[in-house]
Amino acid sequence: MYYQNQSQNNSAFMQDEDLLYTILADLKRTVREYTTATTESSCPTVRQMFTQLTNDTLRMQGELYNLMKQMNMYSTSSKALRQDVDKQIQDSRNTQQKTRQFVQQKTGGMGQYAQSPNVPLHQPNIHNPYYM
């Protein structure tokens, strides 16, 4: 009722666009917080819970972003060249492999994540020179 009265008087707490930007920023912050909590969790159950919370929050953030984009409230950045993105992906894979080798060397391959599956391979879209 309070919100309805405020809307009728055209003096709402915040403009819709400002409110959505605030929510979007809060979702981004929350994802960072959950990611930190996930990486610092030593209990597998707690780690799984924060992983799920991170994924749920990322979905909400994506849905809100898409809504704001459709309503012309959020402009997207310029498109990235495929070759630049592919280079970043390759660099990340190389770092991941070096890290995995280092951990296996130091733990003798006996760590909790020694048998973790690799990240799915990126399949570039060779017909589109841009991503997004």
Q: What is the pLDDT of residues 14-54, one digit of tens each?
A: 788 889 999 999 999 999 999 999 999 999 999 999 999 99
- What mean pLDDT comes out for the span 82-87? 88
Confidence of residue 121 (pLDDT cuts 50, 70, 90): very low
Contact between residue 74 and residue 16 where contact means Cβ atoms under 8 Å apart: no
Between CA 119 and CA 24 the distance in angstroms is 28
Confidence of residue 122 (pLDDT cuts 50, 70, 90): very low
Between CA 65 and CA 126 the distance in angstroms is 27
Between CA 120 and CA 117 the distance in angstroms is 9
Q: pTM, whole model, 2 decimals?
A: 0.55
Between CA 89 and CA 83 the distance in angstroms is 10
| Chain centroid to CA 97 | 22
